[in-house]
Amino acid sequence: MLLHGSYASSRWWTHFCAALPEEVYAVAPDLRGCGQSDKPDAGYTIAEQADDLAALLDALHWDSCHLMAHSSSGAIAIEFALEQPHRLETLTLVDTVPVEGVFTPLDGYLVLEQMRSDRDLLRTALRTLMPTAPIDGDHPELLRFFETLVDDASQMAPAAFTEIARALAQWNRFGDARRLTLPTLLVWGERDAIVDRAATTRTLIAIPGAANLEILRGVGHSPMIENPTALAARWVDFILADFDAYAAVRKSALETTDTEATDADVDD
């Protein structure tokens, strides 16, 4: 299962899916308010969007899946993993928002509101998300693809332009992340101008199941567009790995949680 980020759609995974082996069956949904999905005025909290993911898995009759999430949808994936860990085989977070959420200042919301009606501003914002993609006249096919992504973003639900940012400002799972013991991979593009390495490292340290941070050289915030082949190869290697080593991590994390619970009972 592949989850896109803010101002995006399932189309962002087009080239990534093309780079996957035929044996891998991937589903990339349009999240609430995006792409071809419904565009309501409400329902954009992280918990509500995690419920959307659960409903999708139910509709597909999937007991579990490998989940990859990009950017803001990393929060949705973490929320889902905390609430329904039995439904995930692995978790992959690509240039994810940090596990403590993201604060957007007031002037940032004003810019987000302006992006609803200013296509040039929206185009510039999306271009910042994929700095190394050759989007120019020398690559007409990619340029046309990029303009389609701008079209998708411009047709988002009006509420989604700002409500996703508000949802991330109200969401913080840093203290709960110690319960994430399933195999987790963090991927970060070294030229990411949106999420810095320090924030990604904090998320890495907070999640016991996250054994490694994979740094992709020469790409920015959106490796599924900038270098889909490299991202696909790394993801396939990860989901096919032997996860026996994670058993010790899981046992240690659970023992720590049980100890803390016992100490709290004594204090009470």
d(CA 1, CA 28): 6
d(CA 214, CA 208): 16
Is residue 258 scored above 80 in pLDDT?
no
Report the pLDDT averaged over residues 110-132: 96
CB 221 within 8 A of CB 95: yes
**Which residues touch 63 (CB under 8 Å, ≥6 apart)?**
87
From residue 7, alpha-carbon distances to 124, 143, 176, 177, 255 in Å are 12, 18, 27, 26, 40
* 243: confidence class by pLDDT, cuts 50, 70, 90: confident
Is residue 83 scored above 80 in pLDDT?
yes
Is residue 246 scored above 90 in pLDDT?
no
CB 169 within 8 A of CB 101: yes
* 211: confidence class by pLDDT, cuts 50, 70, 90: confident
- Helix, strand, coil in percent for the chain, rounding step 5: 50, 10, 40
What is the tens place of the pLDDT at every residue in 35-77? 999 999 999 999 999 999 999 999 999 999 999 999 999 999 9
The full set of domain ranges for the chain reads 2-267
What homologous superfamily does CATH list for 2-267? Alpha/Beta hydrolase fold, catalytic domain (3.40.50.1820)
Report DSSP state, residue 113: H
* 261: confidence class by pLDDT, cuts 50, 70, 90: very low
From residue 100, alpha-carbon distances to 79, 108, 202 in Å are 12, 19, 9
pTM of the model: 0.90
Report DSSP state, residue 220: -
Is residue 11 scored above 90 in pLDDT?
yes
Beta bridge partners of 90: 66
What is the tens place of the pLDDT at every residue in 137-166? 889 999 999 999 999 999 999 999 999 999
Report the pLDDT averaged over residues 220-242: 95
d(CA 179, CA 246): 13
What is the tens place of the pLDDT at every residue in 156-204? 999 999 999 999 999 999 999 999 999 999 999 999 999 999 999 999 9
Question: Would you state the pLDDT for residue 136?
Answer: 87
